[in-house]
Amino acid sequence: MINIKKIDKDNFVVLIKKNTETVHRVFFSDEFYLKFKTNKSKENILEMSFEFLLKRESNTMIFTKFNLEEINNYFPEYFKTFNITSKNES
């Protein structure tokens, strides 16, 4: 189960309840949010992003504090999955 709590417009706490419960602090800027071509809320995108991560690693392996945009550094398919054009692409 994924629980998301908004701290302020760019900062969130994500609680993942699995075999081991984990807490993650995530920065999600408005600038990055606008790159998602969807009408979903930041919370919805965060949930989908954590589902993406959980398909690839256990919740205990996910960083406890990170910028959402950094996911692509570790999983290059992230931007493609969410139809985001990286800065390096034309």
Identify residue 32 by its one-letter amino acid code: F
- 37 part of a folded domain: yes
Task: Write the pLDDT tens digit of every residue in 10-67.
Answer: 999 999 999 899 999 999 999 999 999 888 999 999 999 999 999 999 999 999 999 9
From 40, 34, 48, select the one nearest 4 (Cα to Cα). 48
- So what's the pLDDT on residue 29? 97
What proportions of the chain, in percent to the nearest 5, are helix, strand and coil? 35, 25, 40
Tell me the residue range of the domain where 10 lies: 2-81
Q: How many domains does the chain have?
A: 1
Say if 38 falls within a structural domain: yes
Question: Is 11 a domain residue?
Answer: yes
Q: Report the pLDDT value the prediction gives residue 85, as an integer from 0 to 100.
A: 74
The reported pLDDT for the residue numbered 77 is: 95
Does residue 86 belong to any structural domain of this protein?
Answer: no
